[in-house]
Amino acid sequence: MAVNDCRVVQCSALSAGGGVATYDNGSLSASSSFFEGNRTTFSASGGGAGGAITKSYGSSLTLTGCTFRGNTSFQAGAINLQLTGGPTVITACHFEDNTALEWSGAIQAFRGVSVLIDRCIFRNNRANALDPDGGYAGAIGNYGLISCGVACDVTVVNSVFEGNAAADSGGGINADEIARTRVYNCTFYGNTAAPGRGGGMSNTADFGGGSVLTVAGAIVRASTGGQILNNAAASVTYSNVEGGYAGMGNSAADPLFVGPGNYQLGAGSPALDAASNPAVPAGITLDLAGALRFVDYPGAAATGVPGGAGGAAVADMGAYERQCYPDCNRDGAMNLSDFGCFQTKFALGDPYADCNGDGARNLSDFGCFQTKFALGCP
């Protein structure tokens, strides 16, 4: 089933998938669609999961360029993923103001699912505590099932988590039981959990052991309730964590964001060229803004790990890669070869060659490139 360029608004279901549900080896894809104000029935007995979408029993799900706003459920305010099945791929989607009365304000993965989340924004999602065991995962919850020996595998890359809140643990992300959670090149800012319970992320053992959290290239700042809580197994490397966190390549220095609410890196940021290329999943080549993920920024000391798809160009920490437009060939130096590169891109009709952004490639773009080259990259 395909849902493209649609609006799914103010729908409801008794138990799962307030807007759309797919079961029994089905397939659901949605693109450029808007899911708002959908809900499932709330029940202290555990009913109600996936205010907007539920994927279950062997089905697969692909979401691209969709918005989820103001959806509500007992668990998984926006999307509920459960019970093994095909892959789930969520790309360039926006999750805002979704609410779970118990667990997982935006997305919940449970019992054997595999999920890739790339270039998404999670803002102001909530996990409340209607149930005494609730209040976990303001934005994303990842839970295996120990009793069945079934793990969940969730990878999140190039995404921003801002202003999400959990009444208990994991304002941004919470993992428990035998979950496998990987967080690469993401930015967490201003997320909230209970005191000492991981406002940015939490890897808990409240419902059993065996959960593994792997973090690389992340920025975690301004959390309430602590930045990262780990009560199981966690590895945090080449990341910027306010207050510090033990691990190879980690930093506590101010990342120098461009400005309030703008999590792109400013000039002189210690997060430039400081992440780990090998950690970035295969096939990931763009940052949250859709710009190149691997850029050797001129003048930045490469303190991260080269290799992988980026080669010698080391990725920046966080969801955004700082770009240097005049360095056309992305070799980390500005010289005459960049003029030849620009001329080639112009001849090939590459969108890059629209230097002044007027929607047309013409001679004025050459003058624009010359001006930007003269100004350099701060």
**Residues 196, 339 share a domain:** no
Condensed to tens digits (0 to 9), the pLDDT of residues 216-236 reads 999 999 999 999 999 989 999
Q: How far apart are CA 178 and CA 152, in angstroms?
A: 7
Q: pLDDT category, 44, cuts 50, 70, 90?
A: low
**Residues 300, 231 share a domain:** yes
**Residues 65, 112 share a domain:** yes
Query: Is residue 112's pLDDT more than 50?
Result: yes
Q: What single-letter amino acid sits at 238?
A: Y
Q: pLDDT category, 46, cuts 50, 70, 90?
A: low
Q: pLDDT category, 148, cuts 50, 70, 90?
A: very low
Q: Looking at the domain assignment, is residue 174 inside a domain?
A: yes
Query: Is residue 147's pLDDT more than 50?
Result: no
Condensed to tens digits (0 to 9), the pLDDT of residues 156-168 reads 999 999 999 999 9
**Residues 182, 143 share a domain:** yes
Condensed to tens digits (0 to 9), the pLDDT of residues 1-19 reads 899 999 999 999 988 899 9
Query: Is residue 288's pLDDT more than 90?
Result: yes
Sequential DSSP letters for 111-130: SS-EEEEES-EEES-EE--S
Strand order in the sheet with 39-40: 12-13, 39-40, 72-75, 99-103, 126-127, 165-166
Containing domain of residue 373, as a range? 333-378
Q: Looking at the domain assignment, is residue 202 inside a domain?
A: yes
**Residues 253, 359 share a domain:** no
Q: pLDDT category, 241, cuts 50, 70, 90?
A: very high
Sequence-distant (6+) residues with CB within 8 A of 38 are 8, 9, 10, 11, 12, 18, 19, 51, 52, 71, 72
**Residues 50, 22 share a domain:** yes
Q: Looking at the domain assignment, is residue 272 inside a domain?
A: yes
Query: Is residue 251's pLDDT more than 90?
Result: yes
- Contact (Cβ atoms closer than 8 angstroms) between residue 280 and residue 185: yes
- Per the prediction, the chain carries an average pLDDT of 91
**pLDDT at site 20:** 94
**Residues 152, 175 share a domain:** yes
Q: pLDDT category, 205, cuts 50, 70, 90?
A: confident
Q: Looking at the domain assignment, is residue 342 inside a domain?
A: yes
Q: pLDDT category, 48, cuts 50, 70, 90?
A: confident
Per cent of the chain over pLDDT 70 is: 95
Q: How far apart are CA 271 and CA 324, in angstroms?
A: 15
pTM of the model: 0.91
Q: Looking at the domain assignment, is residue 328 inside a domain?
A: no
Q: Looking at the domain assignment, is residue 194 inside a domain?
A: yes
Q: How far apart are CA 159 and CA 188, in angstroms?
A: 9
**Residues 226, 157 share a domain:** yes
Query: Is residue 55's pLDDT more than 60?
Result: yes
**Residues 261, 220 share a domain:** yes
**Residues 125, 10 share a domain:** yes
Mean pLDDT for 349-372 is 92
Tokens, residue 15: 């138990």
Mean pLDDT for 294-314 is 92
Comparing 299 with 318, the larger pLDDT belongs to: 318
Per cent of the chain over pLDDT 90 is: 69
Q: Looking at the domain assignment, is residue 138 inside a domain?
A: yes
Number of structural domains the chain divides into: 2
CATH number, domain with residue 298: 2.160.20
**Residues 219, 80 share a domain:** yes
Q: Which residue among 296, 323, 350 closes a domain?
A: 323
Question: To which H or E segment does residue 8 belong?
Answer: strand 7-9
Q: Looking at the domain assignment, is residue 222 inside a domain?
A: yes
Query: Is residue 120's pLDDT more than 80?
Result: yes
Q: pLDDT category, 102, cuts 50, 70, 90?
A: confident
**pLDDT at site 357:** 86
Comparing 205 with 85, the larger pLDDT belongs to: 205
- Of the listed ranges 89-93, 161-165, 229-233, 302-306, the least confidently predicted one is 229-233
Mean pLDDT for 140-161 is 79
Query: Is residue 326's pLDDT more than 50?
Result: yes
Mean pLDDT for 234-249 is 97
Q: How far apart are CA 269 and CA 256, in angstroms?
A: 5
**Residues 105, 86 share a domain:** yes
